[in-house]
Amino acid sequence: MFGTWATFIPYVKGKFSLDDAQLGLMLLAFPVGAALFNPISAWIIRKVGMKKTTFYGMIAVSVVYTLPLNLPSPAWVAFGLCLTGMSIAVLNVAMNTCTSVIEQNEGIHTMSTSHGLFSVGLMLGSLVASVSYGFGVDPSRHMICAAVMGILLALLARPVLMSIMDRPAPTSTGHQQKGHTDKKGIWRGIILMVVLSVCSNFTEGTMADWTAVYMKEVVGSSAYLIGWGLAGYSMCMAIGRMMGDGIVPLFGARRVLGMGAAMVFAGIGIALIWPVTIISILGFSLVGFGVSFSSPILYGSSSRIPGYSEGKGLAILNSFGMIGFLVGPVIIGFISRAFSLQLAFCMILVLAVIWGTLSRKVKLY
């Protein structure tokens, strides 16, 4: 759903004759919705349960994503994006909580692979939507078809979701006591994780919302190829995440975070210096590798913060991470309007430097 929507953003921009700043302002509705529901996502999970929240969240996300492409004005599109942000905020915390519980119950590493499947969906959605767009299929009808598939996937996933065992009750209060005695250290670790998450998610959000626009307006790619920059990025992000559960234990989480920042810096630099279709696709693909490990590492760590209840650490990280993911594209839009889209993308270079520097200092759990 997200990959499909991201590929059709240029269509929405042209449909309502929006400039970059107006588009960025409209996209701001997404983080507003996420910000409204992120703080209560942990509460919803406690009341409804992580498994039911994930199932109904999948259905809700599938339904609300049809709204932005089927509503008659920018204001209504913004309203649809707000509802989408609300749904994604809750689903994001719920499904990551499920994955964290599976890891704890089974004694395995699977967070990175699970995030990789998001990237697979992003890649497939952008590829299919790009081909569909090239053949002149109505994007609004295409999105409805994608939503039907999303609901069917939710129904198929339901039996597996409901079979997940709940997190075992703690046998001692050792971690909780440590959390109380080292409260300042824990908060410092949380703050650094939040900053890293904002940098990483700012990059992910920019890639998702602006890659197709960059390919069309800066690179000048044909209609058939405007989605390939996002597809290459998504494919490499998926590959990196599928490999992450083996790579992270081998090299160490902090070192992998630093390597990711370096790849993001190099990939964006390549796309900015040589705005040619194939080179830009390669550059965005390298960015995909760079961001692939950060979210799984940070989400997994935030779910294991000593003394924090189920979903609380994830909700905190997700609140700020989603702000970076969703407000980042808005900032890019305003900078692009004032100067150029290439200069706006330089923001990612700055964040990559911050990201690489802090990755050596952050404490992970």
Extract long-range pairs of 328-331: CB within 8 Å, 24+ residues apart. 328/201, 328/202, 328/203, 328/205, 328/206, 329/24, 329/27, 329/205, 329/206, 329/208, 329/209, 329/210, 330/24, 330/25, 330/27, 330/28, 330/31, 331/24
Quick one: 2-165+183-358 is in which CATH superfamily? MFS general substrate transporter like domains (1.20.1250.20)
Give residue limits of the domains in the chain: 2-165+183-358
- With 70 as the cut, is the pLDDT of residue 205 above it? yes
- Token pair of 223 as six digits: 């209609």
pTM over 0.75: no
Average pLDDT taken over every residue of the chain:
85
In contact, 26 and 18? CB cutoff 8 Å: yes
CA–CA dist 87, 57 (Å, integer): 6
Could you read off the pLDDT of 226-263 as tens digits, one per residue? 778 888 898 898 888 888 878 888 888 889 999 999 99
- With 70 as the cut, is the pLDDT of residue 311 above it? no
Q: Is 169 exposed, middle or buried (0-12, 13-18, 19+ CB in 10 A)?
A: exposed
- Token pair of 243 as six digits: 């490999």
